Each structure stands twice: as C-alpha cells, then as structure tokens.
Amino acid sequence: MSQSKLPALILPIDPHSCAGGSPTRVRHLQLELAVDFTSHTLSGIATWQLVNPESATEIFFDVRDLTVEAVVTLDAAGAASETRYHLGPVHAVLGQALQVALPYGTAAVRITYRTSPTAAALQWLAPDQTAGTEPFLFTQSQAILARTWVPCQDSPGIRFTYEATVRVPAHLLALMSAENPQHLNSTGEYRFRMAQPIPSYLLALAVGDLAFAPLSHRTGVYAEPATLPGATAEFGDLEQMVKAAEQLYGPYRWERYDLLVLPPSFPFGGMENPRLTFVTPTILAGDRSLTSLVAHELAHSWSGNLVTNATWNDFWLNEGFTVYFERRIMEHLYGREYADMLQVLGNAALHHTITELGATSPDTHLRLDLAGRDPDEGLTEIAYEKGCAMLLTLESLIGRPRLDAFIKEYFTCFSFQAMDTATFLHYLRAELLDPEPGLEARLNLAAWVDGPGLPANAMVPSSALFGAVEQALARLAKGEAPATLLPRPADWSSHEWVHLLHGLPASLTVAQLGALDAVAGFTNSGNAEILMAWFSHTLRASYQPAEAAVEKFLRHVGRRKFLVPLYRALLATPNGLARARAIYAEARPNYHSVATGTLDALLGEPLAQH
C-alpha cells in the first residue's frame, strides 16, 4: 500500500517534550559551538529556521540545565529583532520550557546560551580516563538529553537538518552525526553539515585525540590512536555488513557509515548517531565475536533513523525491528547457525527481564505509557527482544519473503518520518493481516502490543551449536571434570561460552569454579560478555582469584548494561554494600550520567538503612 492511502500521521502528543502539537516547528539548525575543556562548558548560538512561523504567535523549545543568555527572532532577510521569551518551571527530568514570542514576519529564532558543567548529555573525560594523553568529550543525547546541550524541540517526532561550526583546542579533532573531517586541521575549527533530517536525539558530538582509518570507500573507523589498530582489525567486515543490510531492506540512505570507538566510560553498547555510530570499546574482543552490536547500530540506519518512533512510548518500533534486522545481517554474514545462537541468547535475556519486571507489569507491553516518568525507564529488553520475538512469530506465520517485502516497503514508505504504534498497526493490518482472514488472531497481535509478558504463541528459538554446550552442561552436572569434557577456549565462540556460563548452577563451589577457570581461562578473558557471565558466579561464591578482575572491570567500564547487574551481584555478597560503595566512589567519575543516574539510586544513602 502506498502511503497516500493512509491517513496523514498526526503526531501524538509527546509527554516528554513541550514542543507539542503546534504546526510551527523547527526545520533547520545552524549551530555555533565553542568547546571549553577547562570550564567543562559549551558556549553556543543555535539559530532555528522554522516551518509555518506565521501560524502561531509563539514557539516552545526544551532546555535543561542551560543558561539562556539572549533570544532574538530573525526575519527572512536575516535581520534580528528583540523578542519576549520566558523560561518555565524546572522539572528534574524534563527541564524547562523556553517560550519564545514570534512577531509577524519571523523566519528563525536565535538562542545564545551556555551549558552547565553538569549537563547530563556531556561526558568530560580527563586524560587519564582515556586511552591516550588528551582530554575527551562526548555526548549521549538519547532519550531526552539533547536539551542539556542544545535548546531544541526535543521530541523524536520532530526532524531537522543541521549545519554546525565547532571550535576546539587545536590539537583535538571534532566529529558529529554529520559529514565529518578525517584529519586534524591547524585552526581547531570544524564545519559540519547534515543534509538528511534527523530528530534531536541523534544530535551528537565527540572531541578528542582521534585518528581515522578507512575500511572501504564509504566506511571507516575513528578511535584514539592507541585503540585504532585493534578497532580496524575488529571491524574488518563493516563494508560486508552494509552490503548485507542493503540487500535485505534497500539502499543505505546516509552516504558514509563510520564508527567511532569511544573511551570505556561510554554508557551504552552503541549509539546509532547517523553517519557515525558511537561504540563501546568493550566490543573489541579481538576475534570479531561481538560485532553483532555494530550490525545492530547499522540496522538503525533504517529502523529508528529513517523511520523513527514518534514518542518514547513507541520505542519498540525502533528497537524490535532493529534486533530482528541485526540478526538477519549476522545470518547473512556468518550463517543461520551463528544467528540462531544470538536469537537464543536474546530470548534468555527477554525471559530474565520479564521475571525482573514482573510477568504482569505494564512495562512488559510493547506499547508503553511513560508519561510522568523518565523515558530511560522504557529502555529495557522488552522493546528489543519482545519486539524481535513478535516479528519472528509473524515470520513463522507468513514466511520470510512476505515479511521481508513488508519491512522493505515500510522503511521506504515512511523514510525520514515518525511512526507511532497506532499508525504502525493500521499499516500492518492494511498490508498483511486484513487480506488473510484469521491471521491477526493467529498472530495474537493485541497480546503482543498491549498485553504483559510473552504471548503463548511466541516462537521458541533453538540453536544447533548450543546442543554441544548443553551436553557439556549435563555431563558437568553429573560430576565430570571440566578438564576432560570442555574444549579449548578458542574452539567455541564467545556465545557458546556465555551459554555455558548461563547454564551452570548457582551453587558452584570455589573449587568447581577454579577447575572451570583452569580450562577456559574465564577470569583473564578479553571478552566483556564472558566476563559478565563469569562474574555472576564468582561473586556469588566469593571466588577470590576473580576479585581483582571484577574491580578492574567496574573501574574501567562505564557500560550500564554491565554495571547494574554487577553492582547488584556485589551488593548481594557479604559486606557487599561497603565494597560496592568504595569501588563506586572511585569509579563514578568514569561513568556517564546515564549510568550514574541508575547507580546513584542503586547504591545511594537509603540502602544504608537496610
């Protein structure tokens, strides 16, 4: 069905932005930024070109923790006029509404401002927190943190193009989610252009001692010089990945696809900033075993960045499709058996999350209701793995060719637009479900979207490769020695080792852990996923040989997905609170606010009373 047969998408009101239903919107940003590593602030001038300025007498921007120094309006010829503006009350999560009066003839609004040293999107790293000898700055704007470094209409349903001029110390390189330089220049001034419209959460900036290595004519990797050779080797398949993705769901629409490897404090695995995915160095496993994360961020170039969740309640539309797409890319590159392992691990994570959230929790629905809450709370495996499980179940009902044709058409039809759950369901019914009576009931669509837990018809993924792991687990359970039945570390992929570790009983003794460690070398693994699965056992059993490795990991790595379960496991040990707090006190400056926001709540004062 062509888009013209659909009702025009009326954006739902976004509970996390004051930009709201007005037809007067931003359409283009001219940004000037000066980066000050001494005061940990950005000084900026944001000039927003508007659509339909004549249809309203005022416009609203989201700001948080910003000092607004001046606001003027510009007419079509660029002449500036003073205007009235007002900052609303401060909300801890949402920040403030900046209300700007629009005199007749206004074409643009120019806001002069400064960020706060505590701006939540910005992480300022001292040289000793990097792999090199220079300071580093990076942003993380998703979900609603762009407003802490740029006054903006901070709703994923609102898109704009941008250009920027960024001034940095002359020996550092600046990069954005835009056309990027590949070399240092002598002035420290860099110009950027983003010709494709993006939502504010995809605004991104990184500044540091960065070098570039090309991987193909349109792909490459940026990293600190010490990290660059390892990163170049790890991501050798990048062009193949882009080609595989294009074969599945149509052309890559953003021209270049580069990666930026950040210092370890980056709070996420990756962030799909357009043209320049930000990735954690924890995926530099040395054997390309964790590059499914790159396939995930690449897949976002279609699901998320081209077709974007209209509000954070619709986050599953970004992530569910992306996980499904990511595994299809991995299958294309490494075969069905490899992708099946990822599917089984994802399914295990989903069941774990449902148990944690509670099987009847509304937070286990695909369509969320995050009004009045921090949208970060919707960032659970539900959006990712339950969303993917729904698509897998649909695939099992209609076959791959039909699902692939549907997804490709969906991405094409709604490119550079927002999508909410209601409109998606309308499209899904019109394209796939309604023409085949009974299909919607067999899919159990309502139970997936607005029901708790996992519907009974969910596909249960299985993995042939994990069969050998499960045999090993059964023999270990009978008391056989690890040395006689486990292969050498290199004979299994990290996924097989992680599956083994997940399958081991929680009651292992120190002696049993020692025997496993001697064969598989878990404590000294360079693979972050293996370490995570291993530490859950070693902490429970107070296995001393791994204690130093746990502490080193917590001090070094800022990825929230790892930190939260590790600190939780530490808290459950004897004297765990004191130890966790001592490590946290030291490590906290290495973590981004996205991680400390969660960990402060976990390790904060109220715990001391228990």
Q: Which residues bind Zn ion (CB under 5 A)?
A: 319, 322
Rounded to whole angstroms, how far apart are CA atoms 284 and 282? 5
- For residue 176, CA distances in Å to 103, 180, 330, 493 come to 33, 7, 27, 34
Residue 384 is a catalytic residue: yes
Nearer to Zn ion, 319 or 496 (CB): 319
Two structure tokens written together for 94? 């949402």
Which among 511, 484, 486, 513 has a CA at the least distance from the CA of 497? 486
CA dihedral 461, 466, 472, 475 (to 10 degrees): 20
> Are the beta carbons of 30 and 20 closer than 8 angstroms?
no
Least CB distance to Zn ion at residue 515 (A): 38
Two structure tokens written together for 578? 């004191």
> Are the beta carbons of 605 and 387 closer than 8 angstroms?
no
Q: Provide φ and ψ at 270, rounded to 5°.
A: -155, 160
> Are the beta carbons of 121 and 146 closer than 8 angstroms?
yes
Least CB distance to Zn ion at residue 69 (A): 36
| 609 CB-contact burial (10 Å; exposed 0-12 / middle 13-18 / buried 19+) | exposed
Burial profile 87-106: b = 16 or more Cβ within 10 angstroms, e = fewer: eeeeeeebbbbbbbbbeeeb
Least CB distance to Zn ion at residue 568 (A): 23
Mark out the alpha helices in 223-286 (DSSP H runs): 228-234, 238-249
In the set 384, 427, 584, 591, the catalytic residue is 384
Query: For 349, what's the count of Cα atoms within 13 Å in the CB-facing half-sphere?
Result: 22
Residue 427 is a catalytic residue: no
Mark out the alpha helices in 367-492 (DSSP H runs): 381, 387-398, 400-413, 421-428, 439-443, 445-450, 465-477, 482-485
SS3 (DSSP) at 49:
strand
Q: Is the dihedral of CA 513, 518, 520, 525 positive or negative?
A: positive
Rounded to whole angstroms, how far apart are CA atoms 136 and 123? 8
Rounded to whole angstroms, how far apart are CA atoms 53 and 75? 10
Least CB distance to Zn ion at residue 324 (A): 11
Nearer to Zn ion, 140 or 322 (CB): 322
- For residue 269, CA distances in Å to 122, 290, 438, 462, 525 come to 17, 10, 40, 25, 18
Nearer to Zn ion, 319 or 395 (CB): 319
Least CB distance to Zn ion at residue 300 (A): 6
Least CB distance to Zn ion at residue 600 (A): 24
Instruction: Provide the strand spans (E) within 104-218.
Output: 106-115, 122-125, 136-139, 159-167, 173-176, 189-199, 205-208, 211-214
Rounded to whole angstroms, how far apart are CA atoms 359 and 234? 39
> Are the beta carbons of 173 and 228 closer than 8 angstroms?
no
Which among 33, 30, 46 has a CA at the least distance from the CA of 188? 33
In the set 163, 297, 331, 385, the catalytic residue is 297
Active site residues: 297, 384
